[in-house]
Structure formats: structure tokens, C-alpha cells
Amino acid sequence: MTHRIYLAQTYRGKEQASGYLQYARYVDLTSWTSAFARTAAFTEHDLAVGVGAEAREMRVGIVSASFFGFFDAPPALGRYFTAAEDSPPDGTAVAVLSYAFWKTRYGGRSEALGSTLQIGPTVYTIIGVAPEGFAGLWPVQQPVAFIPITSHASAHRPPRDTWWTTYHWMWASMLVQRKPGVSVAAANTDLTNAFLRSYAAQRMESPGLAPAEIARPHALAASVLSERGPNESSFARVATWVAGVAVIVLLIACANVANLLLARALRRRQEIAIRLALGVSRARLLSQLFAESVILALLGGVAGLLVAEWGGAVLRGQFLARSSQVSVMGDARTLLFGGAAALVAGLLTALAPALQTRRADFAGDLKAGAREGTFQRSRARLALLVLQGALCVVLLIGAGLFVRSLRHVRAVPLGYDVDPVLLVDLNMRGVQLDSAHGVALRRDLLETAQAIPEVMHASRQLTVPFWSTSTMELHVAGIDSVHRLGEFALNAVTPEYFATLGTRILRGRGIAIQDAKNAPRAIVVSDAMAKTLWPGRDPIGQCVKVGADTLPCSYVVGVAENIKYQHLGDDPGLFYYVSEAQWHPEQGGLFIRTRGQAAPYAEPIRRRLQQLMPGTSYVTVTPLREILGEQTRSWQLGATMFLAFGALALALAAIGLYSVMAYTVSQRTQELGVRAALGAQQHDLVRLVVSEGLTLGAAGIVIGVVIALAAGNWLGPLLFQESPHDPLVFGFVTVALLGVTVVASFIPSRRAARVDPMVALRYE
């Protein structure tokens, strides 16, 4: 069994697990464990592949030589790299191409072996091609190439860091395969013992680390998919619920079709009785019923796969824009699963009519006009109808809760504008610039951006909301430990920053031109930070030492509104800004505010700025909305899919109710005629039919509400500032279902109201 390793420690009383570790930690765990048959280190990055105008940012798998041993996938051409080519500190610049990239870039020619390809700042020699369809651990966004983890680390390591022996740089992940007979619990114990030993070695290097008794380090082997690990993402949890919703819709559809087949079987009871009287066995009749149902289900399955082919492309574009395009019709596993689901659906839908056929009194059915007991035998249809209604209520309540959550998310005050803002990120690809040239390049980019007619404001910054963060030690007079009050994040910005993002200055001023390199250090704090450090006092003019306690004071010159920087929910807003000129002017990227929506301007601005980039370096321009979209994706998925499936379920339930009521009216023609002959008015007959429909609908609603209330405990953590028992949602769904029930019952009731007593009395 293959697992990904997660390392957990206790920080500020809360356990935090991470799937990332240092390369030195990977070596320690590999050397000091005995529970695993093989181990591998891996990570992935989007790197520039190619040179010049042909360079494109693509996903690259960065793996140890042992990685390929986890897969039964011999190379299609050439070979994989060896342990010798993957040895630290520098490794060997060799690469294995993906099959698809080899076909598109090199036309599938064997001459690609031995040629070179620039990936990031390094030129790699191509030594092999992975087999067709091989994606490693990244089936959604498949890598175009695989390179040794050591050669990548050598090119991207922090300055002067011996990354293969120290514990500073957490950037890799670890894959393990348990030996036969080793349980997960035994593997976790083995891992934890090795981790404790490694943690002790790290404390020798960094004595400031908390003792093991406080940090309580331990390790565990869990799912290879990080979304399914200890820190399961909300998107993965919502996706699981969506899969459950799809099953519920399938059950509703099965109940609907079963109801129709059951009605058909009741209509055919005389035919079936005659066939039995002529010597046809019950087994043959049942096999015919199952065959008819399975054929219908398989035809529906084919139609479903065609819809999935189109719908999958739409959903990928909405939620997984950067994922690889996967054809539903070309994936054997999907086709097999779809066929199995259709077969099961066919068997389920045939079950009710088959049971009806087995229990039927065919001797009585041979008598012309036999009607006694019809309604008693129809209780299965009514039960199926109530089930449809109940499941429909559950889906619609889920849809309402997610829609409300999405509304709450969109109403969150971020403290900055999103739609008109672009992020410009610099990728130097190994181009070495000294500090002065780095500052000059960023100054030129800023001036060029400001000169573009479509640009209103442009600024430089060090960090980006929901993308990157930076923290420093703080010292404030009168406070023993600022660190204990929370984590304070910083950003180094230029004077135009607040106008570019639309962040309001509540008191004082923002970073200004006079906050130059040799001027007194200035700092702008968030409102939350001001209230935390100086409660009830004026923060303007207060001294904050950023970094060591021996550094000069940074004086508070302004208070800015709180912003959401790391979490949309419980973000404490402890944030401050320093002057980029007084911090690291040779680092960071740009923010650009355009006139109107930013997305249409991204590519023209990128081309304009790219002209200033030296050598093989390049810029990427991303709308800030895309970055924020990653944070809201789970609620968008939940709202979209629950709403779509809920609407489908509502339509199915309405059709099911209509069909049952129409069938009931047709079966009760004589009864309705008698009622009319005895003086019942049309509105009395309408009320009779509609009230029966409302009774069924109300039963389904009650059961569905009970199920939804019970499921709220599991659904609640996926919602955003929304109670899983929101009475507004429950009330709206109840009213909507009752309205649909009335409409679906009213149409057949009109037929009942128009019954001619004389015709009805002669019916059958």
C-alpha cells in the first residue's frame, strides 16, 4: 500500500499537520525506518519550459530517482534517471518527458533523446520518455516532464543553504510503500520514532525550537492525495458530498422509473395472467421485466455519458481551469463505472414491478373488469413517490444552504478591490541581477505600467493576499512578547499601493514618497493590529521595532482598514505595511489597477512588460479575482452542483407525482363518475385529487426535513457563516415543494373534474 507522509506538531496548543518536509528530513526518515519497501521524495512546480517567445509555464514533476519504482510503467523510450544522477548537492540535469509532450513538441521522434530543453533556469538533457498516459501523482494537471529533485533544488535553493543536510527549507513531500504484513499503525509508530530522532537533530541545529515534550512531533502515513489527508480541503469534502448528491439523484430517477414501470405492470396484469395461464413460467416473465428495465437503463447510461462528456468540459472550465482535458468517452474506468451504474439502476427499477408480479392474484385478474385491491397493490408506488419527495427536499435544502454560504462569502469585506486588479509576478529563471539592477528593473516595470492608458494606478509589493505571506519578529514597548498576541504579517509597498488596491486609510496617512531609504522608518498598521497593541490609545507615532530589538524604531504614521489575507473566515487582520524603499526594493512584484474589469487587459499588459525582462526571465499577469477564486471554489462548487441536482430532482419529483396522480385518476374514473352522479361539484373533485397529492407531498417533505436536520451536523463545517438548520432555507424549500405538488396534482385533477358520469359508469 502506498502512502504520503504527514508530519504533525503542536503549535500554540493546536496540532498542525503538513505534507511537506525538508530534504534532510526525508533522508532521516528513509534511513531510520524499516517498515517500508521503498520511499521517494517529490514535489511539483509550474516552471517555464522552453526559451524566448516559445517559453510557456507548464507543470513539471520534481522527483527522486526512486519515484518511478512505485509504478509499473517502463519508459516508452530511453530510460529514467538513476540514483547517481539524483544525488545531492547538484544532481545531474537530465529530464524524462511525458508521452503527450514528446508527441506534441517533438513529433514523437526518437531523435529527441540527447537533445536539450530549458526548464526554469537550467538546461536539461532529455534521456527518456514516460509511457503513454503516465502522470505520476498528478492526473488532473499532468506534468510535461520529470526532473531530478536534487538538480531542481540546486538551482532554486536559498542562498548559501546546504539544503540536503539542514532543516530550513520545507519544500518536498515523501511517498512510501509499506512492506507486506506491516500495518498502518506499525508504520506510523516506526515513522514517529524516526521523526523524534530527526527532530532532536534539528534542535541541535536550532536550539530555539520547542522541546519535543511541548511540540509533540509525530508522523502518519495517509492518503497520497493531499486533499484526502489530515488537512482535507473543503473542496475535497464538498466534492464528496456532490458525489453523494449524484447518488441521491440516481435513486430519485430509479424511483421515478420504477413507479412508471410499476404502473405499466399493473396495466398489463391481465396480459401477464393470460401468459401464465398459457404456461409461461414466472421466471421467464420476471426475466423479461428485468431485461426491459436494464435496456432502458443502458440507453439512459449512454445518454448520460454523452451529457457527461459535454458537462465535464463545462465543469472543468469553471472549477479546474488548469487541469488536463480528459475525455469521458476515452477513459475505460469511467465507461466501466458508468456501465455498472446503469446496470444497477436497471435492476433497482425492475425490483418493484417484479415483486408486484410475484405477489399478484392472477386468477382474479383474469376476470374482466377486476379492480378490487388495486389501490392496496399501489402502495409501493405511493411509497416510491414519498421517497422521491424526501430526497428532493434534502437536495434543495443543501442547495439553499450553499447558495446562502456563497452569498455570505461574496459579502465578506476584503479590505481591497478584486475585479479591477492584476498581479504581476516576476520569474527570473536563473537570471542573476545584483540589488541595484533588481531595483532598476522593478522601477522600469512600474513606470511602464503606469504609462499604459488602461491603467489607473500601479504599485509594487512584497506579498500577495492568499498567495504569499511574510512575518517578522516585533518589539513594542510595554509588551513582553508581541508574538504571544498573534501572528502579525507584513507587506512592503510603494506609495500608490493603497490607491491601487482600494484599501482605505482610516487615520493618519499611508506610505508616502518621503518614506525613502534613509528617512525615519514608517509603518502603517491595520485597525485590528492597532487595537491589539495599543488598546484605548492613539497608535499614531508609536514605536515598533521590526526585526531585532536593537534596530531603530518604525513609527506608526497611519491606520488602514482590516484586510482578509490568509483566511476568508477567522482572519484576525493583524497586518502592517512598511515602505518598500526601506525594506527589500529588489524583491516582489506589482499590482496594477485597470479601468474596469482587469481580466481583458492581462495579456496586453503582459506583452508590454515582457519587453523589459532580461534574458530568459519572464512575467506572469494574473487577475486578482482568479487568486481569490481558489478560496471560494468549494462554495461555488457546492452551490452550483447542489442547485443543478436539486432542480433536476425537483423536476423528477414533479413528473413522478404527476404520473402517479394521472394514473390514479384514470383508475378511479368509475368512482369519480359515481361521486359526480351523486352531486359532487367539479371543485369537490379537484379538491379531492389535490388533497391526496398534498398528503403525499407533505409526507415526503416531513421525512426530507428530518433527514436534512440530521445531516446538518456533517454539512455544517462546509458552510460559510451559515447555519445548517437555517429556518429561512427550510421554509422556502417547504413552500416551493408544496407549490410544485399543487401544480403537479392540479393538472390531473382537471381531468377528474371533467368526468361525465354516464361515460364513467360505463368505463370498463
409 close to 634: Cβ distance less than 8 angstroms: no
Taking 60 as the threshold, does the pLDDT of residue 205 lie above it?
A: yes
Across the range 652-669, mean pLDDT stands at: 77
463 & 581 share domain: yes
Pick the range with the lowest mean pLDDT from 234-238, 354-358, 579-583. Answer: 354-358
Which pLDDT score, from 0 to 100, does residue 62 have?
Answer: 97
**Is the residue at 31 inside a domain?**
yes
The span from the CA of 266 to the CA of 145, in Å, is: 62
Asked whether residue 580 falls in the same domain as residue 601, the answer is: yes
Q: DSSP character for 167?
A: S
- The cell for 615 is 534574458
More confident residue, 667 or 642: 642
Looking at residues 1-14, what average pLDDT do you find? 87
**Percent of the chain scored above 90 by pLDDT?**
47
Report if residue 514 sits inside a domain: yes
Place of cell 504614521: 557
End-to-end CA distance of the chain: 67
* Residue pLDDT, tens place only, 301-344: 888 888 877 777 777 666 666 555 566 666 677 788 888 888 88
Mean pLDDT of the 6-35 span: 91
Q: Cell 494574473: give the residue.
A: 622
Within a domain: residue 280? yes
Residues 90 and 106 in one domain: yes
Residues 112 and 204 in one domain: yes
HSE on the CB side for 362, CA within 13 Å? 18
350's grid cell: 425492475
Q: Could you tell me if 131 and 210 lie in one domain?
A: yes
Burial 692-731 (b: 16+ CB within 10 A, else e): bbbebbbbbbebbbeebeebbeebeebbbebebbbeebbe
Q: Using the 3D structure, point to which of 629, 655, 677 is the last residue of a domain.
A: 629
696 compared with 56, residue with greater pLDDT:
696
Q: Give the per-residue pLDDT at 370.
A: 45
- 508 has pLDDT over 90: yes
Mark whether 429 and 577 lie in a shared domain: yes
3-state secondary structure of 501: helix
Domain that holds residue 524: 421-629
Is 70 in the same domain as 189? yes
If one compares 747 and 227, the residue with the highest pLDDT of the two is 747
- The predicted model gives 695-704 an average pLDDT of 92
Q: How much is the average pLDDT of 462-473? A: 88
Look at residue 95 and tell me if it is in a domain. Answer: yes
What's the pLDDT tens digit per position in 624-643? 999 888 888 888 888 888 88
SS3 readout for 693-743: HHHHHHHHHHHHHHHHHHHHHHHHHHCCCCCCCCHHHHHHHHHHHHHHHHH
Mean pLDDT check: name the lowest of 54-58, 230-234, 332-336, 753-757: 753-757
Alpha-helical regions (H) of 415-557: 435-451, 497-501, 527-533
Same-domain pairing of 247 and 112: no
Position 160 confidence tier, pLDDT thresholds 50, 70, 90: low
Whether 416 maps to a domain, the answer reads no
Q: Is the domain of 613 the same as that of 638? A: no
> What is the model's pLDDT at position 510?
96
- 669 or 72: which leads in pLDDT: 72
Report how many helices (DSSP H) and strands (DSSP E) the chain contains, helices first.
21, 22
Average the pLDDT over 705-715 and give the result.
91
Classify residue 210: in a domain, yes or no.
yes
Alpha helices in 459-566 (DSSP H): 497-501, 527-533
pLDDT above 90 for 549? no
CB count within 10 Å of CB 755 equals: 25
415 assigned to some structural domain: no
CB 590, CB 444: distance < 8 Å: no
Residues 457, 595 within the same domain: yes
Nearest-angstrom CA–CA distance, 282 and 299:
26
Give the mean model confidence (pLDDT) for residues 117-125.
92
pLDDT of amino acid 374 = 43
Residues 6 or more apart in contact with residue 4 via CB below 8 angstroms: 19, 173, 174, 175, 176, 221, 222, 223, 224, 225, 226, 229
What's the per-residue H, E or C state across 381-393?
A: HHHHHHHHHHHHH
What are the distances in angstroms from CA 534 to CA 301, 478, 525, 544, 570? Answer: 65, 10, 11, 11, 21
Q: pLDDT-derived band of residue 363, with 50, 70 and 90 as boundaries?
A: low
Reported as a single tens digit per residue, the pLDDT across 567-595 is 888 788 899 999 999 988 888 999 999 99
In angstroms, the CA 581 to CA 334 distance is 56
Length reported for the chain: 764
- The beta strand positions in 165-283, using DSSP E, are 173-178, 218-222
Model confidence at 367, pLDDT cuts 50, 70, 90, reads low
Q: Which of 176, 194, 228 is the last residue of a domain?
A: 228
Average pLDDT, the chain: 86
**Residue that is last in its domain, among 228, 247, 269:** 228
- The domain tally of the chain equals 3
Confirm whether 64 is domain-assigned: yes
Q: With CA atoms as reference, report the closest residue to 180 among 57, 83, 37, 292.
A: 37
**How does residue 377 score in pLDDT terms, banded at 50, 70 and 90?**
very low
Task: Provide the pLDDT confidence category of residue 602 given band limits of 50, 70 and 90.
Answer: very high
Which grid cell is 618? Answer: 519572464
Domain match, 577 and 673 both: no
* CA distance linking residue 701 with residue 741, whole number of Å: 11
How does 265-282 read in b/e, with b if 16+ C-beta sit within 10 Å?
A: bbebbeebbebbeeeeee
Q: Residue 376: its pLDDT value, please? A: 42
Cell 517578522 sits on residue:
472
Region 396-424: what's the mean pLDDT? 93
Which pLDDT value is given to residue 763? 52
Alpha-carbon distance 355 to 350, whole Å? 9
How far is 438 from 65, CA to CA, in rounded Å? 36
Note whether 637 and 619 are same-domain residues: no
The sign of the CA dihedral 454, 459, 460, 463 is: negative
Q: How far is CA 662 from CA 378, 657, 690, in A?
A: 13, 8, 11
